[in-house]
Amino acid sequence: MCDTFAVGPSVTKDGTTIFAKNSDREPDEAHIVTLAPRAEHRAGETLRCTYIEIPQARRTHAVVLAKPAWIWGAEMGVNEKGVVIGNEALFMKQKPERTPGLIGMDLVRLGLERASSARQACEVIVDLLARYGQGGACGYRDKSFVYMNSFLVADRGELLVLETIGRDYAVRPARDHAVISNAPSIASNWELSSLRPGTDLVKARDPLVTFFAGSARRKALNEQGIRRAWGRFTVETAFALLRSHAPGRPWPGFNADVCMHAADPLIRRSQTTGSLVVELHPQDRFRIFVTATSAPCLSPFKPFLPAAPYEEASRAGAVYTPGSFWWEHEVLHLSAMLRPHTFRESITREVEALEGSWTGEYPAHGWDEATDDLVRVSHGAFEEAKKARSRWVSRLEGVKACPFGMRGFYLRRVARRNRVPLRV
């Protein structure tokens, strides 16, 4: 389960375009943030994606990718041309092809590497979709988990929603904002499509799985948040929406929280493993923020500099690994989720204060800029977050863990199989 939104210049305080996404995956599926540099490739060269090989493009753009460590593709990312893409799982009556093809995350990365605009990225994706189809396991441990995909594609001038079913697609532009989740939102009112006129994508969904995915509630929370901040939307607004929970404590109902936490092996078995916010400024300038961790309610968004990436954000093995920014955070995350909600809320307040200490010091910049001041703020934010995490881990050792129950049993099992040194 995931949530993605973007707002255009008429919605934001400074006339920028802001894109935001939470990647919800299996709870022990390590997520990394990495840079793929621009490159030129030889004629006839092939590219190995997650499951299949395809012809490589002659030139590929530099991209920042936020992705599960085990796949070639990415859940979300931004390229040097100012194109941003995130994908969402769609659960449709028609199932993906049995033969391996491209998975949605592969299509995100391919669109970013090969396109210079949002519209061109859609063209890249639908062309590859027609040629290779979408097929292959999308789950980390659960290899039966397969799905169709929707995409939110943005640049400085346009927001586009692209939804797929099999090798078919529909594209609809959004005027000033777009919000997508785990359900189709384009009925038959598309601008471009390979479907027969009158085909209703919403009616093609699998209603049972879509209901349990909880996408309608999460999408509504983000829509409401955007409308409340209309005309004064900032990256801080995006941070707050991505770390929001449904009213009351987390876990009510079925997957109702934008900031998702796993709680059982059946319904609440996915959680937010990584988050990205991109602010696109005029004159080809950027501000990119990542958690590089799970649980944005327990982790600050940190400035990420494409020309000087923070190395620890790109490290993650299959199990707990010291020196991996993502895995080190799991000690705090899993241990905190076994404590009372009021304790976790106190960490969230400190997280927000930390963000404020560096967000205002981080100016928009060109893709290849790496001045001393930019590097100081970006890398300093990661280092300061590490120190804060150590303080919070020490503090939680004085707070009694909650009784076992289903959630406690499940989270302890996740920690054991990944060798995460829980603080209980």
The residues near 307 (Cβ < 8 Å, ≥ 6 apart) are: 367, 368, 369, 370
Q: Residue with structure tokens 């949002």?
A: 118
Residue 248 confidence (pLDDT):
63
**CATH of residue 280:** 3.60.60.10
Domain count for the chain:
1
Instruction: Indicate the SS3 state at residue 279.
Output: strand
What range does the domain containing 88 cover? Answer: 3-307
Could you tell me if residue 354 is inside a domain? no
Q: Over the chain (424 residues), what is each successive 10-residue block's mean pLDDT?
A: 95 98 96 98 97 98 98 98 97 90 98 98 98 94 93 98 96 96 92 92 90 89 97 98 81 77 87 97 97 97 98 95 96 94 91 94 97 98 98 92 84 95 90
Instruction: Look at residue 424 in the predicted model and tell me its pLDDT.
Output: 83
DSSP letter string over 206-265?
-HHHHHHHTHHHHHHHHHHHHHHTTT-B-HHHHHHHHT---SSSS--TTT--SS-----S
pLDDT value at residue 5: 98
| 51 within some domain | yes
Contacts of 302 (CB under 8 A, 6+ apart): 289, 290, 291, 292, 310, 358, 378, 381, 382, 385
CB 254 within 8 A of CB 12: no
Tell me the three state secondary structure of residue 183.
strand
| Sign (positive or negative) of CA dihedral 81, 307, 67, 249 | negative
Whether residue 406 lies inside any domain: the answer is no
Q: What is residue 256's predicted lDDT score, i.e. its pLDDT?
A: 87
Measured torsion, CA atoms of residues 78, 34, 412, 396, in degrees rounded to the nearest 10 = -90
pLDDT at 407: 86
Q: What pLDDT shows up at residue 253? A: 54
Is residue 6 within 8 A of residue 177, CB to CB? The reply is yes
Give a yes or no: residue 375 inside a domain. Answer: no
* 390 in any annotated domain: no
CA distance 70 to 76: 15
Q: Is residue 377 situated within a structural domain?
A: no
Catalytic residues: 2
What distance in Å separates the CA atoms of residue 34 and residue 381, rounded to the nearest whole number?
A: 17
pTM above the 0.95 mark? Answer: yes
pLDDT of residue 98: 87
- Residue 46: is it exposed, middle or buried by C-beta count within 10 angstroms (0-12/13-18/19+)? exposed
Residue 389 resides in a domain: no
Domain presence at residue 405: no
